[in-house]
Structure 1
Amino acid sequence: MDSRLSIIAGFKGGESYVKDLYVSLPFRVVSVGQRKNDKKLYQMVMSSSPGILDGDRYHLDITLEKGSSLQLQSQSYQRLFNMKDKALQELNVTMEEETSFAYVPHPIVPHEDSNFKSKAHVHIGKNSQIIISEIITCGRKHYGEVFKLKRFQNLMEIYHNHKLVVKDNVVIQPDMIPISSIGNLEQYTHQGTLIFYSTKENVDKNGLIEEIVEVAAPHHEDMEVGVSAMEDNGFVVRALGHGGELMYNFFLHVQEILWALE
């Protein structure tokens, strides 16, 4: 199934709003920020499908007009079902000047023989910031499906002024890359990546990294977390653990810290 989702966030009268919205099955989008008073836009992406099926093609286009702030949320864990071929997802995000975008979805659960590739292209404008993450689990562990997927790939590219500033490529292919080997996941079953990138000038990158490390400290027995600083205003948070819920809640906490930045 070819499925499409398109959102344009506008900005008027000091508030962000949905300027245009288009979805096709199985997508649905609902507002979830009615009780917030920060004038930002909060939308939840929902699906009538139990997960991503063989042959599915998802196309998501997000546009933020100047001054707008949009936080996308997911409904639940994303399941990747058994596949004979593969499924694809493409996310395109266009951010004009003075915009903020955040997308911290629930973990992905790849079933046995699933084959999935996700590509994200982000074009970020001046004085803007993006928070985006993904968590990949080992699969249905209680069913004995520990990394029995065929292949998983998530390719992320962020551009500013037509220049590639961030590129992250996560590939899990158990038949070619031993998951439990040194330098890969070793004894862990869950891997998470959160990317923060800002074109603002007043970002205290080092202070933010210290705060995130402090937030992660109480969970050191259940989760390993590392933060890699970029040359400019950005960093990548990597997490390894044994459970998706703990990692997801940690990323939500990080998102809360970064989303509050002015």
Structure 2
Amino acid sequence: MVSTLKIEVEERDGESFLRDAYVTQPFRIMPVGQYKSDGASYLMIMSSSPGILSGDVYDIQVNVKEKARLQLQSQSYQRLFNMDGSASQIMNVKMEKGTSFSYVPHPVVPHEDSTFKSHNKIYIEDDCDLTISEIITCGRKHHGETFKYAHFQNLLEVFHHDRLVLKDNVLLRPDIMPLAAMGLLEGFTHQGTFVYLNTKDDDLEDRIEYFFKELEGLENVSFGISKLEANGFVIRILGHGGEQMFDFFRKVQDVLWEEKAVIQI
């Protein structure tokens, strides 16, 4: 089943709001920031389906109009059910000048024999800042399905003035890849990636140092933080729990988001 979600967020007099929305089953879009006072738009992607099924194709399109700020949220863990075939998701985000877009979704839980491919393409203009993350678990560990999924891939591409400035490709094939080996998961069961990029020429050195010290406080993880050639950084974490990573990524998101709120105000 092909499922579509299209949203457009606009700014007027310092307030960002949902200008237009179009959804098909099983999607719903819900405002969740009614009590926020920073002028940003907070929207949650909701679904009436318990997860992604074989044959599902998710098409998500987000347009953030000039000077608007959008924080997109997920409803819960994303389950990828047992599949005879495969499922896929495409997310296209267009960020006009002076916009902010942040999306830190819950972890993905691939069930046995699931095959899933995701492609995120983000087009960013000047004076923008982007936050996006992903957490992939080993599957239903307590059901004996550790690394029993068939194929998981998430490709992220970010374009600035139609020039590719960031490409990140996570590909996991437990049947042919020694996931416990050096250079892969090295005995860990969960992997998290957090990307921050801006086109405002902000100096990020202090923030990178701050988040590195915060990462040192996490237990039973291996991590790294790298500055991008474009103005941004990537945090990668290997661990044994999705909730731990998700909570940390939300904290990083909050710090970056609140900084921008202060600047906007």
Q: Is the 8 A contact 1:68 1:100 kept in 2?
A: yes
Q: Distance in 1 between matches of 2:185 and 2:215?
A: 19
Q: Is the 8 A contact 1:223 1:247 kept in 2?
A: no
Q: How much identity, in percent, do the aligned residues show?
A: 52
Q: Is the 8 A contact 1:122 1:157 kept in 2?
A: yes
Q: Who is 2:213 aligned against? A: 214
Q: 2:164 is aligned with what amino acid?
A: L
Q: Distance in 1 between matches of 2:191 and 2:145?
A: 16
Matches within 5 A, 1:227-238: 227-238=225-236
Q: 1:210 is aligned with what amino acid?
A: E
- Does 1:92 find its partner at 2:96? no
Q: How many residue pairs end up in the alignment? A: 260
Q: Distance in 2 between matches of 1:91 and 1:34?
A: 25
Per-residue deviation at 1:75? Answer: 0.6
Q: Is the 8 A contact 2:165 2:230 kept in 1?
A: no
Structure 1 spans left out of the alignment, 5+ residues: none
Q: Who is 1:127 aligned against? A: 127
Q: Distance in 2 between matches of 1:204 and 1:151?
A: 38
SS in 2 for 1:153: strand
Structure 2 spans left out of the alignment, 5+ residues: 261-265
Q: Is the 8 A contact 2:92 2:122 kept in 1?
A: yes
Q: Distance in 2 between matches of 1:51 and 1:139?
A: 13
Q: Distance in 1 between matches of 2:229 and 2:48?
A: 42
Q: Is the 8 A contact 1:64 1:70 kept in 2?
A: yes
SS in 1 for 2:234: strand
- Does 1:153 find its partner at 2:142? no
Q: 1:249 is aligned with what amino acid?
A: D
Q: Deviations over 1:59-91 (max 9, x none)?
A: 000000000000000010000001111000000
SS in 2 for 1:51: coil
Per-residue deviation at 1:214? Answer: 1.8
The equivalent position to 2:247 in structure 1, one of 246, 249, 259, is 249
Instruction: Please tell me the root mean square deviation across aligned C-alpha atoms, in Å.
Output: 0.8
Q: Distance in 1 between matches of 2:216 and 2:37?
A: 31
SS in 2 for 1:7: strand
Q: Who is 1:181 aligned against? A: 181
Q: Who is 2:112 aligned against? A: 112
Q: Distance in 2 between matches of 1:232 and 1:163?
A: 11
Q: 1:196 is aligned with what amino acid?
A: Y
Could you state the TM-score of these two structures normalised by the residue count of structure 1? Answer: 0.98
Q: Distance in 1 between matches of 2:242 and 2:89?
A: 21
Q: Who is 1:172 aligned against? A: 172
Q: 1:189 is aligned with what amino acid?
A: T
224-233 vs 92-101, greater mean Cα deviation: 224-233
Q: Is the 8 A contact 2:137 2:191 kept in 1?
A: yes
Q: Deviations over 1:200-243 (max 9, x none)?
A: 02x22111111111222221x32222101012311111011000
Q: Distance in 1 between matches of 2:22 and 2:230?
A: 35
Q: Distance in 1 between matches of 2:249 and 2:36?
A: 20
The equivalent position to 2:222 in structure 1, one of 213, 221, 224, is 224
Q: 2:250 is aligned with what amino acid?
A: L
SS in 1 for 2:211: helix
Q: Who is 1:36 aligned against? A: 36
Q: 1:69 is aligned with what amino acid?
A: R
Q: Who is 2:263 aligned against? A: none
Could you state the TM-score of these two structures normalised by the residue count of structure 2? Answer: 0.97
Q: 1:245 is aligned with what amino acid?
A: E
Segments of 4+ in structure 1 off by > 4 A?
Answer: none
Q: Is the 8 A contact 2:166 2:230 kept in 1?
A: no
Q: Distance in 2 between matches of 1:144 and 1:101?
A: 37
Q: Is the 8 A contact 2:77 2:107 kept in 1?
A: yes
Q: Distance in 1 between matches of 2:52 and 2:3?
A: 11
Q: Distance in 2 between matches of 1:226 and 1:181?
A: 17
Q: Distance in 1 between matches of 2:228 and 2:54?
A: 37
Q: 1:80 is aligned with what amino acid?
A: L
